[in-house]
């Protein structure tokens, strides 16, 4: 028998988010309470939020990925804009 004391957490979320999450959890065989408990225990286990939380703009993220690819030499080089455009459009 579980003898741990229980606490109630109240959180305000918009109805659409709640319902969509409930469906996801239901499909996984979980109720909302179990899913929230899993999240909290994982946060404790990793000593932080158990996923990446960033405020980076998706365009900035793509730019950073492209920069990293260039640094690794993972890029194509073209002799002209026409050659680049032909490659870009698969020769069409």
What is the pLDDT confidence band of residue 54, given thresholds at 50, 70 and 90? confident
| pLDDT tops 90 at residue 37 | yes
* Model confidence, pTM: 0.55
| pLDDT tops 80 at residue 1 | no
Q: Is 83 left (phi over 0), alpha (psi -120 to 50) or beta?
A: alpha
What is the pLDDT confidence band of residue 58, given thresholds at 50, 70 and 90? confident
**Quick one: average pLDDT of 51-77?**
87
The answer on 64 and 47 residing in a single domain is no
Q: What are phi and psi of 57, to 5 degrees?
A: -65, 140
The answer on 39 and 3 residing in a single domain is yes
Share of the chain above pLDDT 70, in %: 97
The answer on 32 and 73 residing in a single domain is no
Helices (H), 1-92: 15-27, 32-46, 58-71, 81-88
Structural domain of residue 67, as residue ranges? 58-88
State how many domains the chain has. Answer: 2
Three-state secondary structure call for residue 82: helix
């Amino acid at each position: 028998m579980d003898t741990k004391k229980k606490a109630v957490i109240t959180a305000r979320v918009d109805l659409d988010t709640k319902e969509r999450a409930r469906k996801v959890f239901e499909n996984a065989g979980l109720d909302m309470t179990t899913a929230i408990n899993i999240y909290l225990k994982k946060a404790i286990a990793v000593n932080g939020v158990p996923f990446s939380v960033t405020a980076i703009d998706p365009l900035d993220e793509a730019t950073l990925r492209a920069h990293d690819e260039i640094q690794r030499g993972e890029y194509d080089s073209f002799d002209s804009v026409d050659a680049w455009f032909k490659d870009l459009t698969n020769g069409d």
